[in-house]
Structure 1
Amino acid sequence: MQISLEAGSRRIKEQEEWAKEIFPTVHERLKQAAETLPRDSPAQPFVDALTERVQAQADTTGFVVLHRWVEILERHFPPRLPDLDNVAE
């Protein structure tokens, strides 16, 4: 059991080290891919939110707390305000 725990711990540490090493390169590829989309694409808010979320994760220890997630989503998917020209009497 001790050997299994140590092996599992070692694998997790190796995965973390690998991820920290490769993350900047992968994140850069994400940003470059996002820049190729037309700015008026319907997917743009999703791409912008994902890119910002990935950056937020990079800026932390790897965990984005809920309130930060909500801030990102609110920024890219704001609530729709009532259309004052189309209000039923």
Structure 2
Amino acid sequence: MWHTPDCPQWTIMQVGLEAGSRRIEEQDAWAKGVFPAARERLKQAAAALPPDTPTQPFVDALTELVQAQADTTGFVVLHRWAEILERHFPPQLPDPEHTTE
């Protein structure tokens, strides 16, 4: 669709795009400022938990996922999520001692 330079729809669309871009930049700047301290608090909280509890795989997976996010400038890609989750929550293998009747 083509718009003339004086088209009201074009002006409204441009204002909306610029406002959206500005919001995204502000959110990104805020997150970059907050993330390192929040990641450090997570690491401290995880280290303070007693080891060998049922929640340990969740804590370890979350901590590793947050670290993976810190190591990238974008998003943690799906295959990286899958690798981390597979490591902390491996599929249950069949029990060779279990027999069905």
Give the TM-score range, shorter chain: 0.7 to 0.9
Q: Which runs of 5+ in 1 are unaligned?
A: none
- Residue 88 of structure 1 is matched in structure 2 by 99
> TM-score normalised to the size of structure 1?
0.86
Which protein is richer in helix relative to its size? 1
Q: Which runs of 5+ in 2 are unaligned?
A: 1-11
- Residue 84 of structure 2 is matched in structure 1 by 72
4+ runs deviating over 6 angstroms = none
Aligned residue for 1:23, secondary structure, equals: helix
Where do residues 8-87 of structure 1 align in structure 2 (5 Å cutoff)? 8-84=20-96, 86-87=97-98
Aligned residue pair count: 88
Following superposition, the deviation at residue 42 of structure 1 comes to 0.7
Following superposition, the deviation at residue 80 of structure 1 comes to 2.8
Query: What percent of counterpart residues are identical?
Result: 73
- Residue 5 of structure 1 is matched in structure 2 by 17
| 1:30-68 alpha-carbon deviations (Å, 9 max, x no partner) | 111111211111111011101101111111123111111
Following superposition, the deviation at residue 13 of structure 1 comes to 0.2
Following superposition, the deviation at residue 83 of structure 1 comes to 3.5
- Structure number with bigger Rg: 2
Tell which has more relative contact order, 1 or 2 (C-alpha 8 A, sep 6+).
1
